[in-house]
Amino acid sequence: MGRYASARPMRILITNDDGILAPGLVHLARVARQFGEVKIVAPDRERSACGHSMTMRDPLRVDKVRWEGLEAYQVNGVPVDCVNVGLTVAWPDGCDLVLSGINNGPNLGFDITYSGTVAGAMEGTINGIRSVAMSMAIFVTGAPFHYETGERWLLENWEAVVTAPTKPLTFLNINVPAIDYQEIKGAKVCGMGQRVYKDRVEFREDPWGRPYYWQGGVVVMEANSQPGTDVEAVSEGFVSITPVTLDWTDRELEKDLQRAFAHPVKTPL
């Protein structure tokens, strides 16, 4: 786990994409501080769906903030920026664990490519630190997020989350159904499913009749058509735990391509 040693408390960096004032951050920190020294570095406002982007052409402003007795900073950037700032300002000697969340919505299937929450865990992984992204999977607008369910699940499964087998370039993406804790059926380790949307871009007009477009959409993939995936697990009331690797290479196709390009045809000049 990074530079973690049993002789000292675990060093934990927490971030998110919902901002420094997000309630999910409170629940995540409440658990983490029971197991180590926690420092928070989070965006100064919501940065959802920023993906694994980072700020390159604007200065990053970092302000220390009061946060329930913990050392905390807000950054005018995205989660990737927050992790890198955290490893510069909060934990210059490195940390043992990066936690990102708890997000106020699911990060299932293809959604992880857009998710700022997941990007925080990605950046921790890139820096060689054990990392976890955690989200509350709510599917009905206006329904309660049940952060307390995510908090209790993490508290009771902390040891497994932070000590389970892992390998380089891999992090855990955890989705907890937004239901009462008593209704949680258990946990399933599973692969990524698909989250496909219809009407992804919607045409609208402002009050002056000028056109604009709003991006979003409604999920159309059914959970029962995706057996063994995070989508199915969460829809059935299970916590989904997905090991995600940053090595996106298709190894089987790599072998086929090597054979295809073994004897390239050279065209005379």
Q: CATH number of the domain that 109 lies in?
A: 3.40.1210.10
pLDDT at 4: 45
- For residues 53 and 57, what is the distance between their CA atoms, to the nearest angstrom? 12
- Contacts of range 137-140, beta carbons closer than 8 Å, 24 or more positions apart: 137/105, 137/106, 137/108, 137/175, 137/176, 137/177, 137/178, 137/234, 137/240, 138/104, 138/105, 138/106, 138/178, 139/106, 139/178
Q: Is 211 domain-assigned? A: no
Per-residue confidence (pLDDT) for residue 143, from 0 to 100: 86
Residue 177 has pLDDT above 80, yes or no: yes
* Residue 117 in domain: yes
What per-residue confidence (pLDDT) applies to 201? 83
Model-wide pTM > 0.95: no
> Would residue 160 count as lying in a domain?
yes
Q: Is the pLDDT of residue 168 over 60?
A: yes
- pLDDT tens by residue, 87-137: 999 999 999 999 999 999 999 998 999 999 999 999 999 999 999 999 999
Assess if residue 268 is contained within a domain: no
CA–CA gap between residue 130 and residue 243 (Å, rounded):
12
Residue range 48-77: mean pLDDT, rounded: 94
| 133, part of any domain | yes
How sure is the predictor about 38, in pLDDT bands with cuts at 50, 70 and 90? very high
Q: What is the pLDDT of residue 140?
A: 78
pLDDT at 203 over 50: yes
Which structural domain range is residue 88 located in? 10-192+224-260
Distance (Å) of CA 147 to CA 12, 58, 231, 267: 20, 34, 19, 63
The answer to whether residue 207 is domain-embedded is no
Q: What is the pLDDT of residues 209-233, one digit of tens each?
A: 999 988 766 665 565 678 899 999 9
- Do the strands 186-189 and 97-103 form a parallel or antiparallel pair, or are they unpaired? unpaired
Percent above pLDDT 90 for the chain: 78
User: For residue range 234-269, what is the model confidence (pLDDT) as tens digits?
Assistant: 999 999 999 999 999 999 999 999 999 987 677 777
Q: How many domains does the chain have?
A: 1
Percent of the chain with pLDDT over 70: 92
